[in-house]
Amino acid sequence: MTRRRLPLLYAIAVRIALALFIAASGAMAGPPEAFHGPAAMTGLLYPPPVGVHPLAAVLIVHDALGLDQRSHHYITQLNAAGLLVLEVELRANPLDGLAEPLPEETEAAALVAEAAAALGGDPRVDPTRIGALGFGIGARAVALTPPAEDGRLAFAARLLLYPGCASLNNLVRASPHGAATVHSPILILHGEDDFANTDAECDELGAVLGSEASARRISYPGATYAWDLPQTAGSAYAAQPWPGREGAIPVQSWPELTELTAAKAAAFLADALHNVVARLD
């Protein structure tokens, strides 16, 4: 299905998301703070403009590209929902040199666990109300993140954007910290025109993760892998590393859908994190 053939209700949802984004933009916090985490991990921290401490927080984990403009829409919506946001990258991406190799899956998950622990140590943050959002390879690290040293779950909610469902399913099954340790809500978002995240593969992943948690999956007709990635050089098309295997996956930017999914992500995470106490009771 192409954009031109979207159902009427889908188009209305996009318009609602755009309105929410415009409203949220006025509540955007000031300049971000530099974050220096364990293992030389770096990132940017965005406190919300208003909120009562300790705050619920969201860790955003980027993929092979490192920090990029893709997160801006999500951060705006999350901040507007009163959530503190920290975005990190899995490897160093210097402006004046070659990027370091990506860590393998287990190492990446361990790095994310360390970043979550560092975020939970911020006096402004409630360590029991930390969620995570990952893009592509970053979503895989979020899904595989082990519990904290005290046995507490690293995240109270997880949102996985186009994580490469087929190979991630195998990794979750094989991981000692796989589905059996995931007791918090999960939302998987992917496009129907994404060869790395087919409906059948993501259904299976949702079933595995949902064996111990509330797992939902939403697929968007006409969307490719990384529809929320802004394109450069005037082209709407690009390619990104295929998660979990060699090769590249085609990408087509879709700004309108990006606004919708950013609003969806903020609504899911805000609801999950603000209801942590009720869920534990």
Structural domains of the chain in order of their starting residue, each with its CATH number: 3-280 (3.40.50.1820)
pLDDT values of the chain reduced to their tens digit, one per residue, 281 residues = 333 334 433 344 434 444 444 444 444 556 899 998 777 778 999 999 988 889 999 999 998 778 888 999 999 999 999 999 999 988 766 555 555 677 888 899 999 999 999 999 999 999 999 999 999 999 999 999 988 878 788 899 999 999 999 899 989 888 776 554 556 899 999 999 999 999 999 999 998 887 667 899 999 999 999 999 988 655 656 888 899 888 999 999 999 999 999 999 999 999 999 887 544 44
Look at residue 14 in the predicted model and tell me its pLDDT: 39
pTM of the model: 0.85
DSSP letter string, 81-133: TT-EEEEE-SS---TTSPPPPPPPHHHHHHHHHHHHHHHHTSTTEEEEEEEEE
User: How far is C-alpha 160 from the geometric centre of its chain's CA atoms?
Assistant: 5
For the segment 173-192, what is each residue's pLDDT rounded down to a tens digit?
Answer: 887 765 545 568 999 999 99
